[in-house]
Amino acid sequence: MTGRCAAAGQDGPVDEIAVDERGIRLGQLLKVWGAVDTGGEVKALLEAGEVQVNGRPARGRGAQLRVGDVVAHGGRRVRLVAAPG
């Protein structure tokens, strides 16, 4: 489930993606979010330093993300929110 919301104190809207309590790996999130199509693209973005997690450069596509984490790439941001139920 995805959506958009305006975050107070931030520039522009933030996409939201719902995840369960296990979270999601960074590479999977970037694919679901539509930032990339393949794992190779994820690797290239990370090596170029083009992805941030919670304001810090992302290091590995296998990084486990949890509810509340914010990922930024290409002027867009996505926040992980708890899946209903």
Name the helix (H) or strand (E) containing 30.
Answer: helix 26-32
Q: Does any domain span residue 58?
A: yes
Structure tokens at 26: 């960074």
Q: What is the pLDDT of residue 72?
A: 97
* Total count of domains within the chain: 1
pLDDT at residue 8 greater than cutoff 70: no
The pLDDT value recorded for residue 13 is: 87
Q: Which helix (H) or strand (E) holds 46?
A: helix 39-47
In a domain, 55, yes or no: yes
Looking at residue 40, which CATH number applies to its domain? 3.10.290.10
8 A C-beta contact, residue 66 and residue 18: no
Q: Which domain holds residue 40?
A: 22-75
Per residue in 28-75, pLDDT (tens digit) is 999 999 999 998 999 999 999 999 999 999 989 999 999 999 999 999
pLDDT of residue 85: 76
Residue that wins the pLDDT comparison between 13 and 24 = 24
